[in-house]
Chains A and B, each alone.
Chain A
Amino acid sequence: MVSNAIPIPGTQIEARPWVDELHQWVTTVDHKRLGILYIASALMFLAIGGVEALIIRIQLMRPHNDFVSPEVFNRMFTMHGTTMIFFVAMPVLFGFANYLVPLMIGARDMAFPRLNAFSFWLSFLGGLLLYFSFVGGSGLYGAGSAPDVGWWSYAPLGARAFSPGHSSDYWTLALLVSGFGSIGTAINIIATILCLRCPGMKINRMPLLVWMNLVMAGMVLLAITPLSAAQIMLLIDRYLGGHFFDTQAGGSAVLWMHFFWIFGHPEVYVLIIPCFAFTSEIIPVFSRKPIFGYPVMVAATVCIAFVSMSVWAHHMFTIGMNSYANSFFTLTTMAVGVPTGIKIFNWIGTMWGGRIQFKTAMLFSIAFLFQFLIAGLTGIMMAASPFDWQLSLSYFVVAHFHYVIVGGILFALFAAFYYWYPKMTGRMLSERLGKLHFWLFLIGFHMTFDVMHIPGILGMPRRIYTYEPGRGWDTLNFIITIGAFIQALAILVFLANLVISYVKGARAGNDPWDAWTLEWSISSPPPAYNFATVPTVASRRPLWDLKHPEDPDSRYE
């Protein structure tokens, strides 16, 4: 499967003026360029959301600190949460899905390239709308403000009586608009996977990354639609005299919670399943073994998707549901632990008996396993609803979900960056800077989020801009803040690595990791049309078959 790059008129011209280049990027419908645009915009928002996190941490560094006012603090945690979930995590994962899914199934583009571009620009517009609230939040006289209702915007805090002005409208519009973008991308991923697989790629031969993105896209359709519906209902409440969530006129605050969390919990899996996908590609390659238990991995993923649709009210154990409802959601939430545990065992089974190469991508993947294990176990603790009556809304829960999102999702994402950056740019990321990034981030992460569990146990609620001294929280918060700055430093190393390696990195060649999926059969970066001739595959690891004609996988499947 040697790639013989065909020059296409108009794409191979050297030294175009930058305006042309920019025009090419803005009008592109190429899945690879859109993938990179998604990733770049997510990195931009990551930097912004990171600065917001640092402002929060400086304020909480010591009791009665007055670095920012309570109003600013509340805006910061609202914007931090909203930005990181909707404008960092989702876009960056969609970016990788966009880039990798067509390459891995031997397709030349996504099924609907223009819908793809439309979806990206909608998501990006959503992010801009959210940040426009800083200038336009209070109307046109310039004294803007960002939303300060928390990233759940619980009713009735989001009602006009408690949130006047337009700042929370920008929040609503940002989620609504980017939500439509997400739905478009999900439809596109599903259609691409179902319709554009190359000859021989039966559904049980798809790489696990493709399988998991298929499941993720299905979940996006089920999770984002109720969120969009709720946002529309909120707009009706605020502007058309509706009373869905307006408690002062008999509306229901609890209804909003149900709408939000029936989105919010599947959303966690929308974010983590693509990260399972990265891990399921990276661990086999650096262990030099195929994934252990492919069919079980697929079944576990589908199982997680189904069960995770019935766990949402574990975010609501404190709202006074009756004992039967609390028991039901305790059971379903604990049940998710089973397929998730199976996945962790299968990854360990993949490493077992292998010859593990500790490249930076593998280091991040191993750390992902370790941290995801802990995040899962603290999740089990909070699934026990009485335990959650103590832990919920405290810093323990903040530590738990940052363990999932940073320790899990972000670590897996960094692994994906180190693994696929050579394919995207044609250059290797520096391993030296990569290891520095890894160890700095690991130390910072554990300093921040391991310690953060303790103030929760000692009764510190989340979302407070200051606290009383003498409750045993002071030193802990100081350590947490130092850890946050170490993480920020590590992110700077990472960004520097991205830039320096783009210019000076070693040439990657087609297949720097001696890997087995189709994207490594073509040049790095791939040509616009991906495959000069559409490949034909006979097993789950087409490049293994090619490299080991004496012992191909196709013999065993």
Chain B
Amino acid sequence: MNEILNGIVKALQLIFSGDPTFYGIVFRSLLFSGLATILAAVWALPTAMLLSLKNFPGKSIIKGFFTAMIGIPTVALGLFLWFLLYNDGPLGSLGLLYTPGAIILGEALLVTPLIVSIETQTIEAVDPEMMNLARTLGASDSQASIAILKEAINGIAFSNAAGFNRAIAELGVALMVGGNLAGFTDVLTTNISTFNARADWSMAIALAIILLVIVFGVNLIIVIAKNPRVLLTMGKMPE
């Protein structure tokens, strides 16, 4: 028990000391997960719009596939990607294995089903007549689609936040295709695992605290952005 308490104290010292190794890990985590989420958002939004606003054969199967893939184990996806990216693999010539690019690509693929599913549901929840409303006010089809997206903006923001949180908190993909190379591809989760294995609990706990702060912080920003008045009513009993 003492070791854990000591670990927490040392962790707090580490956080406030500005240790370059420690903050390097935090920076890489934010960068890789952030870029992975942006990459996923780029292809997830058009996919969600297609799935929610257009009708075509096999649509429900594709929607079902994305929903099922939300829970894919990260190590399974990491293993699959490793086989794709290793030297003799189909994409081995790209030389991506054990680089930040592999982590970013892997995490983008990991969070895509989550983002697509939430965005599809959010856009579908907007009254289908909204499209006709925008059209009858003179909007072209693309302007009407933008009007629908504006109505669904809260859900879209939430889906990307959820995607970012899944990306930054995952271990399997980063470990298997990133390789946990110190100062190059090591991130919060891979380091928590490694430092724990080495019984260096102060570093493991410090990194875990930062990971939790980031995950909760992102959610808090989304809540506040959705309704800034929440800041004024915090701590008050609901009426």
Q: Do A and B bind each other?
A: no
Residues of B within 8 A of A (CB): none
